[in-house]
Every structure is written in structure tokens, then in C-alpha cells.
Structure 1
């Protein structure tokens, strides 16, 4: 979930098709192997199968040669560093140690020819691997991790213009909100048709973040309303009214001797870091100043920790940067299926602009402060680029929008 989003952002920042391919292949793996028929995302896949760690995923040079033939195998093995000695218990985990250009030069072929050989090889190895016994799978659906995955699919749908990813994201949101929420409270885990256990802070924060991403990618107001609803319940359940910050457990949990707070970002970001990001993003989208005040309280609370251990607060620093940078407020007005609307949105999503919010409407709509008095210019899909609700002149072409986004 986190890697796919990282590769999406790398693709935006560089335009390198390699990052796009890795993002898509990662998300396609999740769809193929880790998605419940109702739309939830499973937790984990085992590393071992048939009693051996990594057996499903590793290769020898001989296996590659048998599948690809000597010519393609030599090139494939050079790029993915498949050797007789191996890098994992005598076999090889495919990994890249040299650039396409370097390997192409060594093989005396063009980069385009190399890419064709690699693509053909991956397809053949994948087909062969499908005949192996697959590792076991933990089919628990965890709300927090589903929130991370939801955000990735939502952003990917906009960045890569993949309508199928949007459908997957919306199906997940519908599933979690209908099956893992009871009387307004989220539940932590779902398996075999049963949801149970009170959710923790990270469940609320991560899923609200996913819903916020889904709203910005789709323009569907219902997802913003759900994000706000979940955030309000998160505040009610977890916010420390005396000292600020969010507790890890909610008021509806069993009573504990001490309610702790988790601030540090580890393998996954902390609930407080993502909650801060949700608050500043929703403040920009909705104009709710209370969200902004709460985020500032949280930033001040952890400022000392950030100063001493900045590398342990990557996500929190991202949220703080969003708050301090005066994010761009990008409003697109126009029918969603109109080619002009799609052209404007393409320019918004194709570039790396981390400190932004995106609002869409098909016509006159005043449901959000950012939409007030925002209409189409000359009956054409129109973009408004604003900061603190003060906008540059409205534009109707992608070229004009690009200039304003610089």
C-alpha cells in the first residue's frame, strides 16, 4: 500500500515510466491476489511455501533459460542479476542492479529491444510461477491497512487515468463503511463475514485519509462527507481535550489504566501523523478552521520530538509542510466526461504537487467554500488555481493551467 503510493509519486516527480510500471504491477498484484470478493483487501501473504521460505518467488539461471531460451535468458539474467551463486539460499530473488541503458549497452541492443525482452520474460516467468504451490494468505481485512490501500488506488485512478482502479477504490469504501462500521463506530477487523473489535486511532485516521483521497480523485461529494463524518467521530473518540493529540484507544474501548499516544512513524505512519494530515487537508477542502486549530495544537505538541528525531516523523513532517506551505486549492468546473475537463485534470494529476487539494464540480455548485462563485467560463470546462481562497484568473486550456501550476 505504501510502496505503490510512493512509486506513483516518483512517477509524478520524474515522468519515468519505470515507476509507473512498478506502481501498476503492485496494484494489479493486490487486485489479483489480495482482494476479497466483496472489496476488502487482505492483510498478508506468507513468505514460505512447501516448507521453504521464498520458494514461490525465487529462480535459478537454469530455470530461466529453460523458460526463455538461451538468448533472452542471458539478457534477462543480466538485468535481474540472476547468478549461479544466487542471492537467497542458492537461488535468486529478481532484483535490479543496473539501469536499462547499462544492460542494453552490455548486450549490444537498444533500450527498446531490452524492454521487449524483459516484458516477454516476465510474462513467461509469471505463467510458470502460477503453476507452483502458492504461499498461504491471511485473509483478515484490517481497517487501517485498507485505508492505506484505498488512498493508493484512489490516487492511481487519477494519476494513471485508470477507471478500473477508481471502481476498486469505491467498492472498498462501500464495503468498509457498510460492513465494518456499527452505530457510527469503526471496527478493527473482518474475516469470514464477521467484523469485530473496536477500531484504534490508526483505523480512523488511515481510512479518513483514504476517503479524502477518494473524494479528490473522483469528485464524488459523498466520499468527502464520509471523510468528515469519520474525522468527527475520531475527534470525539480519541482527542485529548486537555493536552491535545490523539490517544491510541477510544472512549468506547474497555477502560485502561493508561491511555497512550503514539507519535512516531515506523514501518507504517503513526495515527497522530496521519490524523494531522487529514485535519489540514479537510481544513483546506471545507474551510473548517477548527480542524486547522487542532492540527496546530498537535504540531506544537510533537515539535520537540520532531526536532530531536526528525527521521522518525516523516509523515508528520509532510503534514506540517502542507500546513506551512499555503497549499494550492485547485478547482475544476465542467462535466466529468468532457474532453476539456479531462485535459485539465490530467495536468493537475500528472505532476507532483504534494501540497494541494483538488475540488471538482460539473457546474454551479456552492456545497463547499471553494466552489462558491466558481462557474464555467464561456461555457467551457474551467480551472481555478487558488491560495487561501484567493484565485488567479480562471483558465480553460491545459497550457494556461500548466503556467499557473508552476
Structure 2
């Protein structure tokens, strides 16, 4: 077990993940010039170990290996050891994860790299048992002493391989984006739809909000029964599953099975924010009460468990409590029956709780597999009675759970992830009209504006205490995106103007003139082995795809043809990739929809414009960019009216004034 008999250089850090290792007997250093220089001066190999606070296997390796004095002796004698929180330094995580994929074909966390004294990697792996780890370290150290030329050649080959992975050229010829091509991409995509349980086929099963968001935009323009069923089924099965916390709300990172039943229990802020947006958009389209319930419970969870006193939001909750994965969340049948009394049997039946358990050691994760109405029909009972049992039972379990030892909170506050939750809250407000959600989004935005923006107009990434770590492209991209959305529901010019200023700053500091894409790191950052660009969308959309959409949207508000062309050029550059690997570029596909289908700017002016805005935005329509009359916003200039007036604009040309929502919708149908 880890004790405080030892203290290393991580003790001065603020990241909970780094602090977890601050009293290991390993002489850990954070990623700093001091440690990198030390490796060169002492001609020692480096151990570079990357993880995050909510990572279960990171905890296991910390306990088994990094807290062990024998392991520490090997590491301290022969290596300079560096610990990295991947959420603070995603640039390093991306680079070294590429090394893992290149050399082993797989990746994960903890991610452990062995590098030469000059920082070039020669080995990558994930979790190792204690004996495996010590044997590996001894063998590589011996090889370094006996045959350094072999390792130098390996380092060169790895570096060249990583450089090839990132090659994207400037596409100069014209590229035609058509609805027919998009339909073919979707048809190919369907082969991976799980039309029984939702999500993609197989296990583990991850929520993919970027994919769902694109498909909802696609559905708005093209009726497709398979896609519609897939979205409805995925969102329903997730909301019923163990991946969703049936007692306290909020989503776990993923399910280990194909049925969404058993989660990997960590809860990440970015999942909550993105899934809030997806469920809000789906609720706007369907008015499904289940989706609204998920919105409400997820916002409650985020505000209760992850909100800081200043208004920002923390990074995550751990999967473990008291050193046991999922302990906080699971129940024996006996525990439930003792808490619920006569209602316990029905509650257990509905949530699939058994004596044998569906988890480990007779414990159960709560999940449902059929709707409340179907359950009532099968068991010949009134829906009102079932709802009462479920509501009362959940509250009793919630109260009992609150007396347990809680999972560890990762109290980092990251600019990019706060942008994601701000956007999610904005969409939750649009869908439900709950003004407290809008106030949460504004409060968080004011916090970020105060803490993140530097004197030169750039951003800090980490906002815990004093701002630190120069921001990466995702911090800019996601914050711009969130503040454009916040502007649309408030008509507060500051958010659109801030978004525009951040876009200008990012272009100056991150843009690659050679291929018209953005680097992930700023020109002001210390150079790494390779300056990478993030292109493929994953659980979080790629920073380049978000920036491309930002340029498109801002060009509509600021009548900026250069921004429009930048967005188009970025899309052209990756068009070959996104056509052949569609689902890995879902956010790029969403941008492509803007170039395929008509989209509009809607300027609202005059008395009652805020009420009219809210009435319009309650419906889902991703192809309209809304603005309030303002002389500070170019598209909205010279439209000052006393009575309520709408201007529907396209390609810098606006319609004659319209004076009612009905008239506006009629014109949009005609268009």
C-alpha cells in the first residue's frame, strides 16, 4: 500500500492523478524541462507513464508496482521516471498513444512508454503486472547498455512511422459533396448498427454522441427508418441500462457487455455534456418523456456531484471506492429488500436484481430491459402503482448510498470539458425551457471567461486555482462552439464576440498554412518530437472538425468569406478519409451536410424578440443560425425594428421582413 514515507516531485502538482503518485517510492517527475534535461545529462532511459484519475487499471498498477520498493529501486537506479495526467496533457497522450498503436496495434491506460535520453520512444505498452514490469525494465536497460545502436535505429523507425500516420496534404481540385454520396456512406455505416440493443455491434459498448448528433442532423433532412430506429433504440437502451445510473443519474464511461447492462463505473464530465445535447435534440424531435427524464436527472447529477463552488465543473468521478470497482453503485438483493420492505420484491423484479447477482460476489447493477407499460401489462398492475414503487425505492437507495464511501473526485477543471457541459446545458434549456439550465451555462461561462482567458487573448487549459498549462486546440474549438450556441439562446453579443476573438487567436497560433488545417499545439508551446494535428472524431469530436464547423458558423454571422473558404478547404483535405471511414469522421460528416443542404441565418428584431427566439429554438433545426438585431454583429446590422420582425437570410441575402412565427415557418417550408 502507498504510504507517505516517501515524497517525490509530484507533491507540488494539482492533478489528483499525479498527486496519487506523489508518495510512491519511485522518484517521479512531472513533464518538465528539468526532468527531460536530467535524462540527457545522466544518459538514462526514461519511463513515461500516462493515465488519469478515474482509470481503474491505473490504480491497480500504482498499488502493485509503483508503490513497491523493489520496483522503485529498479526504476530509480536506471531510469528518469515521468508521470503525466492525460487529461492535462492530451498532446503527449496523443503522441505516445500513436506510438502504442504503431508498435503494438492497440492502446489503453495506463500507457507506459520507454524512451531514449533524448525523448524518442522505443517501447509502448499498457498495464503490466509487477514481475512483467520489472523484467521488462531490466531487459531494456541491458539492451541500452549493450546495443544502443539497435535502440537508436528503432527510435528512428518509430519516429518515421508516426510522421507517416499524420500526413494530410492540401487538396486543390474541386470536390463535390452530394446527398447521394452521403446516403451511400450511411448505408455502409448501417452494417455496424445493433438494431436489437442499440449502439454499435459487439462489446464493450461505448456511447458515441458525435455519431448520434450527426445522424440526428441527417434525419432532419432525410427520412430513414433504419437510422431513426437506431437512434431511438440506442438512446432508450442506454437510458434503461446499467451504464446509466438508475439511482443518481449520469452516465458511466462504457458498458463491458453488448446490452448496456454492466458499466465501467467512472463518470466523465465530457460524456454527461455530450449526451445531454444528444438527448435534448432527440427530445425536441420526438417529445419522448424518457429522454426528458434523462436530461433532468443528468443535469441534477452534474450539478450535485461535479459542480465547483465558483461555477466551473470538475473532470470526473472514479470507478472505485474503497479500492473496489463499482462498490458505491451495486447492491445485494437482501440490501434492497431490507431498505424497501414490502416494495422490495417488485422493485427487484423491475430492475433485474437477483440473489445470484448480475455483477460480482452476488452484487447487482440496476437496469431495466422493458418499458414500464410493458412491465405493467405483464404483471397486471396499474402504471401509477409501479411509478410510486420505483420513485420511492430509488430515493431510499439514493439516501442509503449517500452514507457509503464515495468514489474519488477528480477536481481538475478543464477548459475544453467545461465547454462541453456548457453546450450540453444550453441544449437542455432549448429542449425543456428550464431556465436554471441556462443560468448554469451562463455561470460556468462567466467562470471560464474570468479564469481561462489570458492577457494576450489566449487560453489556459487547467483552471483549478490559478490558470495553468497553455491551452490546446480542443480548448479553443470546443469553447468557441459552446459560446456560439450560448449566444443563440441569449442574444448576448459578448459570447459571439468572444468566440470570434478566440477563433482569430487560434488561427494565428495553431494554423498550418501548408495544408490549411490546425495543429493541436500552439506555436508558443515547447516543440515535441512531432507537431500533430487531430483529425479523426472519437468519443469527443476532433478539434479540427470542430474548428471547421466553427469557421463555417462564424462566417455566417460575420459575413466572412475567408472563414467559409477555410471551412470548405479543411473538409476537402479530409474528404478521402471521411468517405472511406465514415463513422470515424462523424463530425466532419455533419459539416458536409451544411455544404449539401440549404442553411439559413435568421435575424430577429423588435419587441418580443427574446420570446420569439425561444419559441423558434424549442424545435430542433440544425440548419438555421439565429441572431438578435445588433450593430456589433454584421449579419444583424441595420435591422432595427420596433415591432417583431424576422429576416431569413441565405448567402448574404435576406428576405423581406416577416412579422410572425407562422409566416417564418411558412417561408422556410417554401424554401
SS at match of 1:329: strand
Alignment pair present for 1:78 and 2:78: no
Find 1:186's aligned residue among 459, 462, 469: 459
Cα distance in structure 2, aligned partners of 1:61 and 1:330: 56
- Tell me the number of residue pairs that the alignment of Structure 1 and Structure 2 aligns: 395
Given that 1:341 and 1:382 are in contact with CA atoms closer than 8 Å, whether structure 2 keeps it comes out as no
Find 1:235's aligned residue among 507, 519, 532: 507
1:151 positional shift: 0.8
Cα distance in structure 1, aligned partners of 2:664 and 2:592: 27
**What is residue 266 of structure 2 aligned with on the other side?**
none
1:356 positional shift: 2.0
Given that 2:452 and 2:461 are in contact with CA atoms closer than 8 Å, whether structure 1 keeps it comes out as yes
Find 1:381's aligned residue among 641, 644, 647: 644
**What is residue 168 of structure 1 aligned with on the other side?**
440
Alignment pair present for 1:115 and 2:115: no
* Distance change in 2, residues 1:81/1:384 (3 Å): farther
Cα distance in structure 1, aligned partners of 2:390 and 2:668: 37
1:152 positional shift: 0.8
* Distance change in 2, residues 1:386/1:80 (3 Å): farther
Cα distance in structure 2, aligned partners of 1:219 and 1:76: 46
SS at match of 2:603: strand
* Paired residues for 1:5-404 under 5 Å: 5-71=277-343, 73-89=344-360, 90-182=362-454, 183-191=456-464, 193-335=465-607, 338=608, 341-342=610-611, 344-361=612-629, 365-376=630-641, 380-391=643-654, 394-404=657-667
Given that 1:341 and 1:381 are in contact with CA atoms closer than 8 Å, whether structure 2 keeps it comes out as no
Give a deviation string over 1:310-331, Cα, whole Å, max 9, x none: 1101111112212432223233
1:45 positional shift: 0.6
SS at match of 2:604: strand
1:405 positional shift: 5.1
SS at match of 2:459: strand
Given that 1:155 and 1:214 are in contact with CA atoms closer than 8 Å, whether structure 2 keeps it comes out as no
SS at match of 2:531: coil
Given that 2:281 and 2:431 are in contact with CA atoms closer than 8 Å, whether structure 1 keeps it comes out as no
Give a deviation string over 1:65-88, Cα, whole Å, max 9, x none: 3333333x3443333322333322
SS at match of 1:330: strand
Given that 2:489 and 2:613 are in contact with CA atoms closer than 8 Å, whether structure 1 keeps it comes out as no
TM-score normalised by structure 1 residue count: 0.90
Cα distance in structure 2, aligned partners of 1:92 and 1:333: 55
* Distance change in 2, residues 1:11/1:256 (3 Å): same
1:168 positional shift: 1.6
* Distance change in 2, residues 1:383/1:108 (3 Å): farther
Cα distance in structure 2, aligned partners of 1:174 and 1:323: 33
1:111 positional shift: 3.7
Given that 1:87 and 1:93 are in contact with CA atoms closer than 8 Å, whether structure 2 keeps it comes out as yes
* Distance change in 2, residues 1:58/1:296 (3 Å): same
Given that 1:159 and 1:346 are in contact with CA atoms closer than 8 Å, whether structure 2 keeps it comes out as no
Give a deviation string over 1:87-114, Cα, whole Å, max 9, x none: 2213222223112221121232344443
**What is residue 54 of structure 2 aligned with on the other side?**
none
1:175 positional shift: 1.6
Cα distance in structure 2, aligned partners of 1:60 and 1:31: 28
Cα distance in structure 2, aligned partners of 1:131 and 1:310: 46
SS at match of 1:59: coil
**What is residue 53 of structure 2 aligned with on the other side?**
none
Given that 2:359 and 2:365 are in contact with CA atoms closer than 8 Å, whether structure 1 keeps it comes out as yes
Gaps of 5+ in 1: none
Between 388-397 and 303-312, report the one with greater CA deviation: 388-397
Cα distance in structure 1, aligned partners of 2:646 and 2:377: 45
Gaps of 5+ in 2: 1-272
1:373 positional shift: 4.5
Given that 2:616 and 2:661 are in contact with CA atoms closer than 8 Å, whether structure 1 keeps it comes out as no
TM-score normalised by structure 2 residue count: 0.56
Cα distance in structure 2, aligned partners of 1:383 and 1:78: 54
Given that 2:281 and 2:427 are in contact with CA atoms closer than 8 Å, whether structure 1 keeps it comes out as no
Given that 2:311 and 2:440 are in contact with CA atoms closer than 8 Å, whether structure 1 keeps it comes out as yes
Larger Rg: 2
Cα distance in structure 2, aligned partners of 1:286 and 1:117: 54
Given that 1:385 and 1:392 are in contact with CA atoms closer than 8 Å, whether structure 2 keeps it comes out as yes
